[in-house]
C-alpha cells in the first residue's frame, strides 16, 4: 500500500501559525476525549448494555477521528509513527479480518494468543464484533474487552507522547506549523478520495462503481459521523476564535482571499455532510460532498500553502 506523502519545506517567510493554546485546546483535549470515550465504552461492554454500547462506539469513532486528523506525534518522534495503524486499519491493510475474527470466536484457543495480530485489536475489529456478534456470548464479550482495552492503551501512549514532546512542538512554532499543514493536506486527500470518492464511484480506483458498503464504517453506520468529525477538527485548525490558527496567519500574509476560499469549501463540506445519511454516498449528495472536499484540498494545496511560504514535494501518490 502506498500513500500520498507531501513534504513541506520552508522558504524565506517565517510562519508561526500554531502554538501552546492550539496544542492544549486541540491536541490534548481531543486525545483526552478519546480516552474518556473508550473508557465509557469498556464500562458499557462490561455491563452488556447493547444500546449504550452502540451509541458509545459512535462517540469513540468521532473522538478518534479528531485525534487522527491532527496526528503529529510521529513527526515529533518516529517511534510513534505507526501507532495510528495499531488503532485503525482503514485503507492501511488489505487483509480481511472478519473471517479471522470468526475463526477466533469459534475456536478454543486462548484469546491472548489467538488475537496476536495488531489488526485483531483495532477499531475496525471492534466495530465488527460489537455490531455483528452476540455480546452475551462470553468469548465474544471478552474479545470486545481485549480490543477496547488495547485501543485505550494506545490512546494513553499517544497522550503520554504528546506530553513528553510538547516542548519540541512549542520550541519551533514554524516547524509545528509545517507538520500541521502537511497533516491537514494529506488528511484532506484521504477524506476526498478514500472516504468519499471510493464509495461514490468518483475516485480513479472505483470510477463509476459506487458502493455504499465501501464506506469506512459501513457495518455500524458511522461513516458520515467520522467525516463530520474530520471536518469539525479542520475548523479547529483554520477557523477558531479562541487561538491563532492558519486562518489568522493567512490574513497576516495577505492571503485573505485564499483562506476565505478554504473556509468556504470547508463550510460547504460540513453542510453537505450534515445533509447526508449513510446511504447517500452513491447519489447526488455524495457527489456534492466529493466536489466540496475537492475544492477544500485545492484551497489548501495550491493556494494556502503558496501564500504561507511553503514549498511542497509530492513524493508518492498512486490514487489508491
> What is the reported pTM?
0.91
250 pLDDT band, cuts 50/70/90, is confident
pLDDT digits (tens, 9 = 90+) for 126-166: 999 999 999 999 999 999 999 999 999 999 999 999 999 99
Task: Examine the pLDDT at 226 and tell me if it is beyond 90.
Answer: yes
Q: How far apart are CA 177 and CA 246, in angstroms?
A: 8
pLDDT digits (tens, 9 = 90+) for 295-305: 999 998 777 77
C-alpha cell at 67: 485525534
pLDDT digits (tens, 9 = 90+) for 8-37: 544 434 555 568 898 999 999 999 999 999
Task: Examine the pLDDT at 245 and tell me if it is beyond 90.
Answer: no
- What 3-state class would DSSP assign to 170? helix
Q: Contact, 126 vs 151, CB < 8 A?
A: yes
C-alpha cell at 320: 489508491
Q: Contact, 232 vs 61, CB < 8 A?
A: no
Q: Give DSSP secondary structure letters for 110-163.
A: -HHHHT-SGGGGSHHHHHHHHHHS-TTSHHHHHHHHHHHHHHHHHHHHHHHHHH
Amino acid at each position: 500500500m502506498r500513500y500520498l506523502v507531501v513534504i513541506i519545506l520552508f522558504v524565506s517567510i517565517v510562519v508561526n501559525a500554531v502554538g501552546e493554546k492550539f496544542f492544549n485546546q486541540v491536541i490534548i483535549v481531543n486525545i483526552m476525549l478519546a480516552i474518556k470515550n473508550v473508557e465509557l465504552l469498556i464500562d458499557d461492554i462490561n455491563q452488556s448494555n447493547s444500546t449504550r454500547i452502540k451509541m458509545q462506539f459512535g462517540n469513540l469513532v468521532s473522538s478518534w477521528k479528531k485525534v487522527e486528523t491532527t496526528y503529529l506525534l510521529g513527526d515529533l518522534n518516529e517511534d510513534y509513527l505507526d501507532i495510528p495503524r495499531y488503532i485503525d486499519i482503514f485503507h492501511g491493510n488489505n487483509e480481511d479480518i472478519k473471517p479471522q475474527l470468526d475463526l477466533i470466536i469459534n475456536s478454543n484457543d486462548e484469546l491472548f494468543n489467538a488475537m496476536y495480530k495488531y489488526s485483531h485489536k483495532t477499531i475496525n475489529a471492534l466495530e465488527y464484533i460489537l455490531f455483528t456478534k452476540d455480546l452475551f456470548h462470553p468469548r465474544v464479550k471478552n474479545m470486545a474487552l481485549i480490543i477496547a482495552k488495547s485501543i485505550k492503551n494506545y490512546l494513553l501512549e499517544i497522550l503520554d507522547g504528546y506530553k513528553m514532546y510538547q516542548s519540541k512542538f512549542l520550541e519551533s512554532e514554524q516547524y509545528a506549523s509545517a507538520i500541521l499543514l502537511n497533516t491537514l493536506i494529506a488528511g484532506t486527500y484521504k477524506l476526498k478520495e478514500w472516504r468519499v470518492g471510493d464509495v461514490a464511484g468518483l475516485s480513479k480506483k472505483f470510477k463509476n462503481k459506487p458502493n455504499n458498503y465501501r464506506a469506512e464504517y459501513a457495518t455500524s453506520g458511522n461513516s458520515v459521523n467520522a467525516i463530520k468529525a474530520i471536518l469539525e477538527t479542520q475548523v479547529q485548525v483554520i477557523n477558531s476564535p479562541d487561538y491563532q490558527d492558519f486562518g489568522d496567519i493567512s490574513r497576516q500574509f495577505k492571503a485573505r482571499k485564499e483562506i476565505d476560499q478554504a473556509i468556504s469549501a470547508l463550510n460547504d463540506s460540513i453542510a453537505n455532510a450534515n445533509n447526508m445519511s449513510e446511504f447517500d454516498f452513491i447519489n447526488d449528495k455524495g457527489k456534492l460532498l466529493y466536489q466540496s472536499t475537492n475544492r477544500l484540498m485545492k484551497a489548501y494545496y495550491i493556494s494556502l500553502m503558496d501564500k504561507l511560504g511553503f514549498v511542497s514535494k509530492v513524493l508518492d501518490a498512486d490514487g489508491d
